[in-house]
Amino acid sequence: MESICVPFPKRQAMRIYSSLWNADEWATRGGLIKTDWSQAPFIASHRNFKAETCT
Protein backbone atom coordinates (compact mmCIF):
# COMPACT_ATOMS: atom_id res chain seq x y z
CA MET A 1 0.00 0.00 0.00
CA GLU A 2 2.86 2.38 0.71
CA SER A 3 4.01 2.02 -2.89
CA ILE A 4 0.85 3.87 -3.92
CA CYS A 5 1.24 6.52 -1.17
CA VAL A 6 -1.31 5.07 1.24
CA PRO A 7 -0.09 4.80 4.84
CA PHE A 8 -0.59 1.28 6.11
CA PRO A 9 -0.09 -0.22 9.60
CA LYS A 10 2.08 -3.14 8.53
CA ARG A 11 3.44 -4.02 11.98
CA GLN A 12 0.21 -4.64 13.86
CA ALA A 13 -2.38 -7.38 13.81
CA MET A 14 -5.53 -6.74 11.83
CA ARG A 15 -8.92 -8.39 11.58
CA ILE A 16 -11.38 -8.49 8.75
CA TYR A 17 -15.04 -9.19 9.34
CA SER A 18 -17.20 -10.39 6.48
CA SER A 19 -20.51 -12.03 5.86
CA LEU A 20 -21.52 -15.28 4.22
CA TRP A 21 -24.42 -15.76 1.88
CA ASN A 22 -26.13 -18.83 0.59
CA ALA A 23 -24.00 -19.88 -2.37
CA ASP A 24 -25.30 -23.43 -2.64
CA GLU A 25 -25.58 -23.26 -6.41
CA TRP A 26 -22.11 -22.06 -7.46
CA ALA A 27 -19.86 -22.81 -4.46
CA THR A 28 -21.00 -26.33 -3.63
CA ARG A 29 -20.73 -28.25 -6.87
CA GLY A 30 -24.15 -27.22 -8.08
CA GLY A 31 -25.77 -27.82 -4.70
CA LEU A 32 -24.40 -31.34 -4.23
CA ILE A 33 -22.56 -30.33 -1.05
CA LYS A 34 -24.89 -28.56 1.36
CA THR A 35 -23.75 -25.95 3.87
CA ASP A 36 -24.29 -27.06 7.45
CA TRP A 37 -25.28 -23.73 9.00
CA SER A 38 -25.51 -25.34 12.45
CA GLN A 39 -21.68 -25.36 12.47
CA ALA A 40 -21.49 -21.53 12.44
CA PRO A 41 -19.62 -19.34 13.11
CA PHE A 42 -17.18 -20.18 10.35
CA ILE A 43 -13.61 -18.95 10.77
CA ALA A 44 -11.02 -18.55 8.02
CA SER A 45 -7.36 -17.59 8.22
CA HIS A 46 -5.31 -15.88 5.52
CA ARG A 47 -1.55 -15.47 5.09
CA ASN A 48 0.17 -13.05 2.76
CA PHE A 49 -3.17 -11.46 1.93
CA LYS A 50 -2.81 -8.75 -0.70
CA ALA A 51 -5.63 -6.44 -1.62
CA GLU A 52 -5.81 -3.92 -4.42
CA THR A 53 -8.50 -1.32 -3.96
CA CYS A 54 -9.99 1.65 -5.70
CA THR A 55 -10.60 4.88 -3.85
Rounded CA-CA distance 31/24 in Å is 5
Burial class (CB in 10 A: 0-12, 13-18, 19+), 35: middle
pTM for the full predicted model: 0.35
pLDDT in the model for residue 10: 73
**Which residues of the chain fall short of a pLDDT of 50?**
none
pLDDT in the model for residue 24: 67
